[in-house]
Amino acid sequence: MNKSFAGFVAAMSLLSTLSFGSAPAGAQGADERGPATAGMPCPNPIVVTLTRGGSTAATPNIADFPSGALTGFAYNQTAANHNFRDTIAFKKPDSKCCQFRPGKLTVVYKALQGGTVKPRSGGDAGNDSGGLVHHGASVSGQSGYIWALPQFTGNTVHPGDTVTIFYAVSPSIIASGQVSFAVQDDTAVVSAKLEISGCCLEPTPAS
């Protein structure tokens, strides 16, 4: 075993003993346990919280949306029949030997049209889907109907109705430095909040 590989193995072993604290609460599918129930505190914690909303223009990235439009999307849009795409990018640590916990994306949606949930009638908000997208595909388990259980308990969607959905963001997606999501066309996105945490063994080098 060469020294560089041995050093990497030792670093990964040490990361597994560090205490990261709690993962963001509420993300569906997130593991609420730390990597260790007790351990050394993280020497260089990573904590990132990014929020978008208001009339902010969305900035979808071609890596996650390789086909279709990349412009013309905005938060709190008022016109129906307009899809929504966005990518929330962040600067990854420049240091080595970093490990991320599952993150959380909190999205607040608002219906622009009325619609029915049972049965889903098609051309209205009741039939809209949304969720995480990575490399051109929906993320399994983190996308689906917006106006559905458990976040929405009614059978009829009215214009102006709002609902909040929490999506679990895997460490592998976080490691890409960007989190993308998309929404169908009769539902607006009021706001999105991305929460990320992790640990690095080494501090980020000074620029």
pLDDT value of residue 6: 40
Question: H-helix or E-strand containing 41?
Answer: strand 40-41
**178 touches 88 (CB < 8 A):** yes
Residue 14: the pLDDT is 44
The pLDDT, as a whole number, for residue 120 is: 83
> Which residue ranges in the chain fall short of pLDDT 70?
1-39, 205-207
Cβ-based neighbour number of residue 179 at 10 Å:
28
To which H or E segment does residue 75 belong? none
Stated pTM of the model: 0.80
Cβ burial, residue 150 (10 Å; 0-12/13-18/19+): exposed
